[in-house]
Amino acid sequence: MPVSLLWAVDVYGRVYSLSTAGQQWEQCRDAQMEFKRVTAAQQCCWGIACDNNIYLNVHASDLPVRYQEETYENQRWNPVDGFSERLLPSDRWQWSDVTGLQHQPLDSFQLPSSSWEWEGDWYVDENFEGEPTEKGGWSYAIDFPATYTKDKKWNSCVRRRRWLRYRRYKAMDTWAKIPSQQTTLPDPFSDISCGGWEISEEPRGRLSLWAVSLQGKVWFREGIYHHNPEGSSWEEVLLPGEVVQISCGPGDLVWAVLWEGQLIVREGISRDCPKGSSWAVVESPSPDVGAIHVAVGINVVWAVTKDNKDRAVYFRQGVTSSELSGKTWKAITVPRDGDRSHSSASANSLQRWIGLSGHTHTPHYICALLKSGCHAASASPESFVDVPTDSSNPPADPPKPRIPKVTSDSFISELVSDREPGKSSRDIGSAPPAVPEEESIPGEGEDKAPCAGSALSPSQSGGPLDPQWSNVDLEEAQQAQTVAAQDAADTCSLSSVATYTLAMEDPYGADEHPLWAWVSGGGCSVDTLVSSVQSMSLSVSPAQTAAWRRQIFEQLSERTKREMDNFRHYEQAIEQSVWVKKGTMQWWRDWKPHKWIDVHFALEQFSGPDGNKDGILFIYYNYYEEKKYLHAFINEVTILVPVLSDSKHTFAIYTPERTKQRWPIRLAAATELEMHDWLALLSVSCCDSRGIHGPPSKQAIWSITCKGDIFISEPSPGLEAMPYPTPCDQMFWRQVGGHLRIVECNSVGIVWGIGYDHTAWVYTGGYGGGFFQGLASSTDNIYTQTDVKSVYIYENQRWNPVTGYTNRYCTRLTPPFVLSHLTKCVVSDWTIDYSVSGGTDREGWQFAADFPASYHGYKTMKDFVRRRRWARKCKLTTTGPWQEIPPIPLSDVTILPCTAQSSVDVVPVWAISNKGDVLCRLGVTAVTPAGSSWLHVGTDQPFKSISIGAASQVWAIARDGSAFYRGSVSAQSPAGDCWYHIPSPAKQKLKQVSVGRTSVYTVDENGNLWYRQGVTPSYPQGSSWEHISNNVRRVSVGPLDQVWIIADKVQGSHSLSCGTVCHRLGVQPMEPKGQSWDYGIGGGWDHVTVRGNSVEPPRLRLPSLTDPSTRSPVPVRNTEVNGVGS
């Protein structure tokens, strides 16, 4: 989980931030201004300074904020001048926008504020709809406005070209003033709240910012998104009264407090209308006193009332996305402590309350600020109250946290009066949960770091106390989200269990530590799991290198040498006997009609004649009352693969024969646990029989199934041999823990993966994890991994004249959607998915003439059916040899394939962010495979695939399906200098590229595999595309120029498989295109990478295809077997 920040302001207006990776509050040194209030999102923090202007602090990232300005130059042909800027009076401007309606000369473009700078000068865009144009970038048409083509024809009378210029937001990590609009904003702002990042993923980084002016007006900042972090303008929002304070949640919840004490709720907020449409009034929690403060999260609302004597905190019940204003108030009260001097006790109760509110899928936490006089002496982070706030599950047992009642009045105005020396022991803000280090923070003795206390010290109560409880201000209840802000991938834990260590005021003077005035946790996201794992791993690593451990390893191997090596011909004292494990399972029977039948399952293990352990699998079944069995030798099993199934826990067993048939042995266990037990046992047995132990070699071939499971295979020396390579249906695959969508490797052992939620992961060198327990898994290098996968269902409706669209007459109803083993990890409700290919209308519907057909996003006369896609996110938590590389989510990655001899020190790694930015990773070596930082490589459009070849030749595919070659990439210039546009194969949009030693292969969206002809060292772009194959989903070209693909529609003797690993045969230096395909494991595979396999095949060697030992040349530890029978 990426590092995120908690922001706070102290009573002197100084701004501090506390990083989830840090250990103390850092003062924002560059803030010249004093601030009143801050509100944070993940990527930025907004604040109101004492000059009443609004300031923005955008967090620096490896990805710059770049905005592309464009304008069009238009010309018309006349017989005298040819094409010239002399246009007809009825024509558009010589310089215009794309529509021609706006006059846009180059010099009319100004930087929007002093926070921006130009990246370079204007230049002509020479790409046209994914195709390179002739010099000059012109496209031609008969007339304006018309269809433009890149070729000049006899009737081309007009032409135009696009000019581009980038500006870059430069005011990173500093407070930049938002230009004010004096004409429309006569009065200063008094409150500000940002949120709304969960409403829509588009445009990227979109935020809602709400502000309240001193006159009680509410303003909405329009147009805030990633490329325009400052937003464009303030829009006044009409109100039923005067507002004092507003709070905006991460979703569609916006509440405000009126002067009169009622609350108002914004309604009509949606992805099309983030500003909402109207207000609904909610009465104050107490009939006598009005509310003074409100704080919202996702489906959570808290309020504080005004009563001077008996200020109370209320929780709003029944707030859901369909009923934003909720149902009733629930008071959260505690009797005020009679003895005020018991501050520590009170503080405990406060702390307990401060905890957090549980939510079904996202934790919220509430930062409460208790001002003046409340000692928040910190106890051990034990007691927190999870307040159930799930809309569908209103708290049956109302939350019983206790909070001290508070008196006195409002917030900012209170600051000065509170600052009486000697009485000013006040509470401090809160630190993010579950940062264990918090507890050991030393009081720095200066105003920088508040002492985040760990022990409840009785002396606290003896400190100078203000006997008055002053007030409690609830500030943010924004949930902590990181990925969600951009990607809506919920990464937070299911039930929010977190611990707050409340920073503690110590009995020193008020000036020594910040006295907090305001805190905002909107951008802060905390994962308890991750922190604890990290702290664990820290304690393990030093021991790994300890001298005593090395000594033991060395002595044990010496002992083996001394006591056993000369005596291996001796007889073993214990004869190996057979060990049988039995169980019951269901089997997908081989004969028709296919169905699940109950079978007995047995694994018999014994030692083979060569000392290797071996075994036989038996499946006993009944065939017409007759008992029969099916068996498979463990040493012939090539893979055990968990299969995605909606209701059963199933896995498949393949042998080379079964792979040819495309018909594995499919088994289903009664429970997931049982299946994992069997898989772990069988897997160990298979590895034993092949003498495979420990981590994969650097040459390993990695692949991923559509379920996200990761498999590795050790390439035999004969795998790329000519003319008789090892058939790839004989490859043995074993699973490693983790859940990924993409994995890429190279031959120095650097392996990167990308999860379904676009998180980047680096391989740690371990093995096992997941369901591999105990001995099949390495002790260290295994970490918790989470991934978020979306599951979809389609809602289908048919139109009829009476009722319009309805599902009543629809024969193709969505089947009941059961995800029994996934439901436990569901982290979001079903939501309409608007990102379906083909587009949708405002409600997410797609239309078609009939099922099944091609759908479009608008209704026409001929459309009688419609469908829409619902998405739901499932979070998986597993373990595996992977560590996260925050913070940028990726969609593709490539690592330079090294040849066996090469000694590359720094390994080039390129990646595409999930938004299409091209990135170059710096500092990647075999020792530090994660590298250090990203270097952004500018492009004119988003990219989707990238690959780097052995000679640093970088090829990439843009989202529009065109190919690019990056020039001059070298060790000295890791990012190269410019992109060369390579025309796509005719009428095809490319999808993916892979570059090996010299070969360049691409796959297009129609499943065609293309080879780049004419690539030479002097002309690395090549000359043309040659069609190689169809039904290809993905290609991986290795450092030997070996070509492997994932193919669809592979016909076996029993069945057809999609998603099959295939190997190109006959690839030779003089014949890089090869001759035919050899079909390996599948279907159901999504990804393969052979870029680690740089083992040159032995020359003229005829591999013996039956000897299993040739298939597993890798780290073998079989101390127990070598002595036998030799």
Partner 1 sequence: MADDKDVLRDVWFGRIPACFTLNQDEVTEREAEPYYLLLPRVSYLTLVTDKVKKHFLKVMRAEDVEEMWFEYEGTPLKWHYPIGVLFDLHASNNVLPWSITVHFKNFPDHDLLHCPSNSVIEAHFMSSIKEADALKHKSQVVNDMQKKDHKQLWMGLQNDKFDQFWAMNRKLMEYPTEDGGFRYIPFRIYQTMSDRPFIQKLFRPVSSEGSAHTLGDLLKEMYPDAITNDGEQKRYQVVIHGIEPLLETPLQWLSEHLSHPDNFLHICVIPIPTD
How near is the Cβ of 545 to partner 1 at its closest, in Å? 8
Per CB under 8 A, 935 contacts partner 1: no
How near is the Cβ of 610 to partner 1 at its closest, in Å? 16
Whose Cβ is closer to partner 1: residue 562's or residue 594's?
A: 562
Whose Cβ is closer to partner 1: residue 196's or residue 611's?
A: 611
Per CB under 8 A, 1117 contacts partner 1: yes
Q: Is 907 exposed, middle or buried (0-12, 13-18, 19+ CB in 10 A)?
A: buried
How near is the Cβ of 385 to partner 1 at its closest, in Å? 24
Per CB under 8 A, 562 contacts partner 1: yes
Residue labelled with tokens 């890791």: 974
- Total residues contacting partner 1 by CB under 8 A comes to 40
User: What are the structure tokens assigned to 1009, written together?
Assistant: 């595999």
**Which span sits near partner 1 by CB under 8 A: 90-98, 491-499, 563-571, 1019-1027?**
563-571
How near is the Cβ of 778 to partner 1 at its closest, in Å? 5
Whose Cβ is closer to partner 1: residue 392's or residue 779's?
A: 779
Nearest alpha-carbon partner for 216 in 198, 189, 184: 189
Per CB under 8 A, 557 contacts partner 1: yes
Q: Contact at 8 Å (CB) between 123 and 116?
A: no
Helix, strand or coil, per DSSP, at residue 211: strand
Q: What is the largest CA-CA distance in the chain?
A: 105
Give the integer Cα–Cα distance in Å for 1101 and 1088.
26
Q: Contact at 8 Å (CB) between 348 and 404?
A: no
| Phi, psi angle pair for 865, to nearest 5° | -130, 155
Per CB under 8 A, 566 contacts partner 1: yes
How near is the Cβ of 686 to partner 1 at its closest, in Å? 13
Whose Cβ is closer to partner 1: residue 608's or residue 1022's?
A: 608
Per CB under 8 A, 644 contacts partner 1: no
Reported as half-sphere exposure (CB side, CA atoms, 13 A), residue 490 has a value of 27
499 Cα distance to chain centroid: 25
Per CB under 8 A, 525 contacts partner 1: no
Binding residue for partner 1, selected from 446, 571, 843, 905, defined by CB under 8 A: 571
Per CB under 8 A, 808 contacts partner 1: no
- Do the strands 882-884 and 760-763 form a parallel or antiparallel pair, or are they unpaired? antiparallel
Nearest alpha-carbon partner for 334 in 353, 354, 309: 353
Give the integer Cα–Cα distance in Å for 646 and 819.
5
Per CB under 8 A, 584 contacts partner 1: no
Whose Cβ is closer to partner 1: residue 695's or residue 1039's?
A: 695
852 DSSP β-pair partners: none
Give the integer Cα–Cα distance in Å for 610 and 951.
44
Q: Contact at 8 Å (CB) between 353 and 500?
A: no
How near is the Cβ of 451 to partner 1 at its closest, in Å? 24
Binding residue for partner 1, selected from 335, 339, 538, 548, defined by CB under 8 A: 548
* For residue 593, cis peptide bond before it (omega within 30 degrees of 0): yes
Per CB under 8 A, 823 contacts partner 1: no
Q: Which of residues 663-722 bind partner 1 (CB under 8 A)?
A: 684, 688, 694
Give the integer Cα–Cα distance in Å for 280 and 498.
34
Q: Which of residues 968-987 bind partner 1 (CB under 8 A)?
A: none
**Which span sits near partner 1 by CB under 8 A: 141-149, 219-227, 444-452, 541-549?**
541-549
**Which span sits near partner 1 by CB under 8 A: 399-407, 408-416, 487-495, 1118-1126?**
1118-1126
Nearest alpha-carbon partner for 637 in 735, 710, 724: 735
- Here's the x/- map for partner 1, 768-797, by CB under 8 A: it reads as ------xx--xxx-----------------
Binding residue for partner 1, selected from 556, 813, 971, 1056, defined by CB under 8 A: 556
Binding residue for partner 1, selected from 106, 281, 455, 552, defined by CB under 8 A: 552
Whose Cβ is closer to partner 1: residue 557's or residue 820's?
A: 557
Per CB under 8 A, 724 contacts partner 1: no
How near is the Cβ of 680 to partner 1 at its closest, in Å? 10
User: What are the structure tokens assigned to 707, written together?
Assistant: 């379920």
How near is the Cβ of 782 to partner 1 at its closest, in Å? 11
- Do the strands 1009-1013 and 1000-1004 form a parallel or antiparallel pair, or are they unpaired? antiparallel
Q: What is the CA radius of gyration of the chain?
A: 33
How near is the Cβ of 682 to partner 1 at its closest, in Å? 12
Whose Cβ is closer to partner 1: residue 564's or residue 853's?
A: 564
Whose Cβ is closer to partner 1: residue 280's or residue 564's?
A: 564
Per CB under 8 A, 647 contacts partner 1: no
Q: Contact at 8 Å (CB) between 1007 and 960?
A: no
Whose Cβ is closer to partner 1: residue 334's or residue 736's?
A: 736
How near is the Cβ of 774 to partner 1 at its closest, in Å? 5
How near is the Cβ of 713 to partner 1 at its closest, in Å? 21
**Which span sits near partner 1 by CB under 8 A: 118-126, 362-370, 560-568, 995-1003?**
560-568
Per CB under 8 A, 580 contacts partner 1: no
296 DSSP β-pair partners: 301
User: What are the structure tokens assigned to 306, written together?
Assistant: 């005004």
Per CB under 8 A, 380 contacts partner 1: no
Give the integer Cα–Cα distance in Å for 230 and 852.
45
Whose Cβ is closer to partner 1: residue 579's or residue 817's?
A: 579
Give the integer Cα–Cα distance in Å for 639 and 655.
7
Whose Cβ is closer to partner 1: residue 115's or residue 778's?
A: 778
Q: Contact at 8 Å (CB) between 431 and 502?
A: yes
Residues in the chain: 1126
Give the integer Cα–Cα distance in Å for 1112 and 235.
68
Q: Which of residues 754-773 bind partner 1 (CB under 8 A)?
A: 765
Whose Cβ is closer to partner 1: residue 581's or residue 859's?
A: 581
DSSP secondary structure string, 779-812?
SSS-EEEEEEEEEEEEEEEEEETTTEEESTT-S-
Per CB under 8 A, 927 contacts partner 1: no
Per CB under 8 A, 572 contacts partner 1: yes
Cα 54–Cα 58–Cα 62 angle in degrees, nearest 5: 170
Q: Contact at 8 Å (CB) between 777 and 737?
A: yes
| Phi, psi angle pair for 142, to nearest 5° | -70, -40
How near is the Cβ of 555 to partner 1 at its closest, in Å? 4
How near is the Cβ of 455 to partner 1 at its closest, in Å? 17
Q: Contact at 8 Å (CB) between 255 and 296?
A: yes
Binding residue for partner 1, selected from 98, 564, 597, 818, defined by CB under 8 A: 564
Long-range contacts of 814-817 (CB under 8 A, 24+ apart): 817/646, 817/791, 817/793
Per CB under 8 A, 576 contacts partner 1: yes
How near is the Cβ of 700 to partner 1 at its closest, in Å? 17
Binding residue for partner 1, selected from 579, 623, 629, 980, defined by CB under 8 A: 579
Whose Cβ is closer to partner 1: residue 301's or residue 776's?
A: 776
Whose Cβ is closer to partner 1: residue 135's or residue 569's?
A: 569
C-alpha pair distances (Å), 655 with each of 326, 633, 679, 1034: 59, 9, 15, 24
Per CB under 8 A, 544 contacts partner 1: yes
Per CB under 8 A, 542 contacts partner 1: no
Nearest alpha-carbon partner for 1003 in 982, 985, 979: 985
Q: Contact at 8 Å (CB) between 732 and 1112?
A: yes
Binding residues vs partner 1 (CB under 8 A)? 543-544, 547-549, 551-553, 555-560, 562-564, 566-567, 570-574, 576-577, 579, 684, 688, 694, 765, 774-775, 778-780, 1117, 1119-1120, 1123
